[in-house]
Amino acid sequence: METETNLVLRKPELKPHSSHKQRFHSSNALEILRESVRILRYNLGAFMLTAAVLICPVSALILPNFLTDQSLVNKLTVKLLLVAKSSGLPLQPLVKHSCQKFAETAVSSAMCFPLFITVSLLSRVAVVYSVDCTYSKEKVEISKFLVALQKLWRRVVLTYLWICVLIVGCFTFFCVLLVAICSSFYVLGFSPDFNAYGAILVGLAFSVVFANAIIICNTAVVISVLEDVSGVGALMRASDLVKGQIQVGLLIFLGSTLGLAFVEGLFDHRVKKVSYGDGSSRLWEGPLLVFMYSFVTLVDSMMGAVFYFSCRVYYSMDASREETQAIMETVAVLDTYRLRRRLTSLSQLHHRRSVSSCIDLYHHLALMDEGRQKDLQLLEEIIDKGLKQKLVHITASRDKIFEEQKVFSDLRKNLETLEKNGVNSLKTMVNLGSEVYMQAEVPDTRHIFMDVGLGFYVEFTRQEALDYITQREERIKKQLEEVTGVITQIKGRIKLAHFQIQQILNLPEENSSSSSRRQRVMEPAQNTGAGIGGSNGTMRYQTNDGIAAAAAAVDDSKENLNQVINSIQKTLGLLHQLDLTITSFTPASQLHLLQRLNSVVVELDSMAKLSEKCNIQVPMEVLNLIDNGKNPDEFTRDVLNSCIARNQVTKGKTDAFKDLRKHILEELEQTFPDEVDDYREIRANSAAEAKRLAQSQNVLPNGDAKVKSEL
């Protein structure tokens, strides 16, 4: 998305600590000026060197009109006045001044054309190169610039020649159109004043067209430097880029033109024409105005380069919006799915715990005496009316904190996505209620209003919002730690109460049952380990019957595992039905509840018997991933990546050893050719003999597999 030709949009953020790739985009000429000034401050040495070496000499020759022949200017002015008179225009001071300035501009441009196509064009290339290096945070070096200049100078000159043709064509078309319109009005009998007004209107229209042409031409020069496009292609590329940003370009052109005209007027008034005193101020006012003119030219070139990057971002904005919206929707769906799956697992765990307690109470209800019933009733009141209610309340508050954390997390992801893609406007869908969405557009996403509490909203930039979100997330993390500690204490008290209930009912502790289960799980592994070792402590290989028995054992283990999985799914279904029965319990449904409890007990017994036949070994990393709410497949991915890395290292060592053996064999062959031939013949015979022996006898008399000896 960021690469359209050979150019990769560099990172325009000048802060060295920023780690996100950003792209500058603005619809405001003032912000482009600020960006240019920031770039100038960041790389002041390179730009000042360019201004002093390349721009100031050109300005020193252009302002005093040293290369302009005044006789040619006067002759051209007289001819233009004659054409204006013959077209019916009145020779007013405005017309005379316009003809004189046009003649001076034409003669000066023709005389200074070699200077423009060499030094002036080289200065613009240097400025664009420095801006690009600043965005990429590279040091501007003259040697690198000269190397790059050799590759791009031809296409820059070709583009400049086409720009000159375009500008000359615009002026020629304007002159022909102006003469044709004024002559038509003069032939039709309109007054000279009316012709003057018509000429002014045509001049205003031409000014707008000429300003657009200059914007396209300046952008084309930048394109010819940064992209592999030149000539007409650069002009067409520039016309496509500036679409939608032409107003910003016009403001930049207007500001630069007014600045240059202001400095030229000061130079004419204070240096060319001595308006006061003896003219001694020329010694310091002249160089100062030349430097001011050069500085305005430098800033204009920098703004043109920054304007190009802004247009590049605006040109790819639609695709960026669609991609950003798709990413945001995908992230939201994934986060919602993960949260829902986690809540479901917690809910199932809670149901299993509650149903387990009901089963235990059901089995031992008939054995209680009156004292035990009172103790149990007291403990149940402590658990149900005290601890559990408090646990529910605190858990609800923790859920609210989790929701707040998720809101800030989603907001952080959205802001980082916007920063990464350089999106300054956004189209989204707003939920109006009842799953009814309406399309909305955010025209400017560079600022965001955030709730800081008590109903107050503060406007932040993206970076300020990210910093504020970081602080809020740290605060939320501390709150979660405190609430989690309280929940852990309450759960510990509930567990202690359950332990007291177990003591009253004479129930076996969970630790003993879990240890027995672990012992049963470890027994198959120990038996397997015992089967591997031989009587003499050496490794023995199984025969075909042993392999078949092992395969049958693997099939049986898979079948038992499938049966356990089916039993777990059936138990979950029964627990869900039991939960519904307990939720809507009435005295009339007591028999139905007992039937459901019996079904759950029978299925749990069946699951326990099936689990004894399975040797289920789960790595602790997988359990940790599940506890952290992550995908267990990440463990498989990490194992595969580590295996791939080890295989690559082993393959590299093997290849290096093969190359070394080949190299040694080649050197030996050059030194001892006869011995190497004998060695190869002996090795071939040994390989053939080993192959024949392997085919004739594969198993030893004791049933062990024969191990081949290396030759």
Tell me which residue of 314, 306, 420, 421 sits closest to 42, measured CA to CA: 306
- Which structure tokens are listed for 450? 């955030």
pLDDT at residue number 338: 46
pLDDT at residue number 602: 86
- Which one has a higher pLDDT value, 695 or 661? 661
Among 164-168, 343-347, 565-569, 615-619, whose mean pLDDT is lowest? 343-347
Rounded to a whole number of angstroms, the CA Rg of the chain reads 43
pLDDT tens-place string over residues 198-216: 888 888 888 888 888 888 8
pLDDT at residue number 317: 54
pLDDT at residue number 503: 65
Confidence of residue 30 (pLDDT cuts 50, 70, 90): confident
Tell me what the pLDDT averaged over the chain comes to: 74
Q: Domain boundaries in the chain?
A: 29-67+112-315, 317-507, 551-617
Place of tokens 């930049």: 252
Distance CA 68, CA 60 (A): 13
State the CATH architecture for 317-507. Answer: Orthogonal Bundle (1.10)
Look at residue 237 and tell me whether its pLDDT is greater than 80.
yes
pLDDT at residue number 1: 34
Q: What is the mean pLDDT of residues 474-500?
A: 81
- Which structure tokens are listed for 112? 């200074």
Look at residue 513 and tell me whether its pLDDT is greater than 70.
no
Q: What is the mean pLDDT of residues 345-374?
A: 48
pLDDT tens-place string over residues 70-89: 788 888 888 888 887 777 77
Task: Annotate 300-349 with DSSP letters as a single string.
Answer: HHHHHHHHHHHHHHHHTHHHHHHHHHHHHHHHHHHHHHHHHHHHHHHHHH
pLDDT tens-place string over residues 277-287: 555 556 677 78
pLDDT tens-place string over residues 55-64: 888 888 888 8
The helix (H) or strand (E) run that includes residue 281 is none
Largest Cα–Cα separation, the chain: 129
Tell me which residue of 672, 347, 707 sits closest to 664, measured CA to CA: 672
